[in-house]
Amino acid sequence: MSSKPQDTTVKFDIVKNRRKFFMISGLILIIGLLSMAIFGLNLGVDFKAGTRLDVYIGKEFSTADVEAAIKSQVTDVSFKSVTKFGDQNAWATTTFDQTIDPDHLAAIEKVLQEKYGDQVSKQESTVNPEIARELALKAGIAILIASAGIIIYIAIRFQFLFGIATVIALLHDAFIPIAMFSILRLEVDLTFIAAILTIVGYSINDTIVIFDRIRENLRVMKVKTPEDLEHMVNVSLWQTMRRSIFTVLTVFFTALAIAILGSEGIRNFSLALIFGLISGTYSSIFIAAQVWVSLKKREMAKRRYTPSPQEG
């Protein structure tokens, strides 16, 4: 016997308060769903077809001038009003409803170069509707298959109930950044999918470390009553608490550094990561383990009425 689970101080009874955590997550879920139903997601050209144009201006500029430059070259296609972004608001961005011919984009760049100088430079992303549909479909399939693969692995390495609890936490963590992006009107593009999958992988990492400890303590401590079970999970959570916090801190440092200091191209990616990191850590402690406790208690209650021979 190495660390003594019985001796671990439980600073705060997480398991007792699990309904409150379920309610907090439920509330976020409802707000997120409402936002998605009302506003939808701000889909980028990767999923919607059209052309996205980012222009680095590199100095003070007015969005009206940029819009005028666009109108002078592209007359018949509507586009979103130009917004500023990036360091010192040196970038202008807009999205066209239709795909724009590269010649027109080059002409826009030229007009802006004449006005603001040679440092003006553009980046462009054009997707036609067929490809956009294909990408969206592929992204959906990818998330489903990745989730299924992970669930199967956990069901084999752990138990079925752990698997279910992990899936619920996983869906929770995939949903929170999506909801946040809908609420904050941030653009959802292809790298966002990569971010969501990274989060899913990370959040499961976190959940597994906690479940590993629960599984271990389940062997060491005698769990006979629902109270024993609650105590054991509390102890397990507090034993792994330092690790959970330290790990999220180290990953958080890097994600935050990319979000603040990194290039504009991956800003949304790192924002999605940050939302996911927070919700992933939160859900591992306050949702995944709690869901497992609820499920396990129900299973224990059932067994009491119909004792099975293999119960130990």
* Whether the Cβ atoms of residue 40 and residue 119 lie closer than 8 Å to each other: no
* Whether the Cβ atoms of residue 120 and residue 58 lie closer than 8 Å to each other: yes
Residue 103 is a binding residue for another protein (CB under 8 A): yes
Binding mask 169-198 for another protein (x = CB under 8 A): ---------------------xx-xx--xx
Instruction: Kindly list the distances between the CA atom of residue 164 and the CA atoms of 5, 181, 289, in Å, as whole numbers in the listed order.
Output: 25, 26, 11
**Among the residues of 158-287, which ranges form H helices?**
160-183, 190-220, 226-261, 267-282
Residue 202 is a binding residue for another protein (CB under 8 A): yes
The span from the CA of 203 to the CA of 72, in Å, is: 49
Name the minimum Å distance from CB 285 to another protein: 15
Nearer to another protein, 42 or 191 (CB): 191
Among 200, 229, 233, 288, the residue binding another protein under the rule CB under 8 A is 200
> Which of the ranges 201-209, 219-227, 280-288, 290-298 carries the binding residues for another protein, by CB under 8 A?
201-209
Name the minimum Å distance from CB 43 to another protein: 15
Of residues 9-38, those binding another protein (CB under 8 A) = none
List all residues 6 or more positions away from 278 whose beta carbon is below 8 Å from its beta carbon. Answer: 248
* Whether the Cβ atoms of residue 173 and residue 277 lie closer than 8 Å to each other: no
Name the minimum Å distance from CB 124 to another protein: 5
> Which of the ranges 30-38, 134-142, 222-230, 302-310 carries the binding residues for another protein, by CB under 8 A?
134-142
Nearer to another protein, 59 or 303 (CB): 59
Residue 257 is a binding residue for another protein (CB under 8 A): yes
Nearer to another protein, 6 or 62 (CB): 6
Residue 6 is a binding residue for another protein (CB under 8 A): no
Among 12, 85, 160, 246, the residue binding another protein under the rule CB under 8 A is 246
Residue 247 is a binding residue for another protein (CB under 8 A): yes
- In this structure, the number of other CB atoms found within 10 A of the CB of residue 241 comes to 16
Of residues 265-294, those binding another protein (CB under 8 A) = 265-266, 269-270, 273
* Whether the Cβ atoms of residue 21 and residue 290 lie closer than 8 Å to each other: yes
Q: Which tokens is 187 given?
A: 């653009």
> Which of the ranges 28-36, 217-225, 255-263, 288-296 carries the binding residues for another protein, by CB under 8 A?
255-263
User: Which of these, 74, 130, 128, 77, lies nearest to 103 by C-alpha position?
Assistant: 74
Of residues 48-67, those binding another protein (CB under 8 A) = 56
Taking the alpha carbons of 91, 92, 94, 99 in that order, is the dihedral positive or negative?
negative
The span from the CA of 55 to the CA of 66, in Å, is: 9
* Whether the Cβ atoms of residue 74 and residue 36 lie closer than 8 Å to each other: no
Among 27, 30, 33, 145, the residue binding another protein under the rule CB under 8 A is 145
Name the minimum Å distance from CB 64 to another protein: 23
Nearer to another protein, 107 or 183 (CB): 107
Q: What is the CA radius of gyration of the chain?
A: 25
* Whether the Cβ atoms of residue 170 and residue 208 lie closer than 8 Å to each other: no
Among 41, 139, 178, 271, the residue binding another protein under the rule CB under 8 A is 139
* Whether the Cβ atoms of residue 258 and residue 270 lie closer than 8 Å to each other: yes
Name the minimum Å distance from CB 68 to another protein: 22
Name the minimum Å distance from CB 256 to another protein: 7
User: Which of these, 286, 131, 146, 300, lies nearest to 227 by C-alpha position?
Assistant: 300
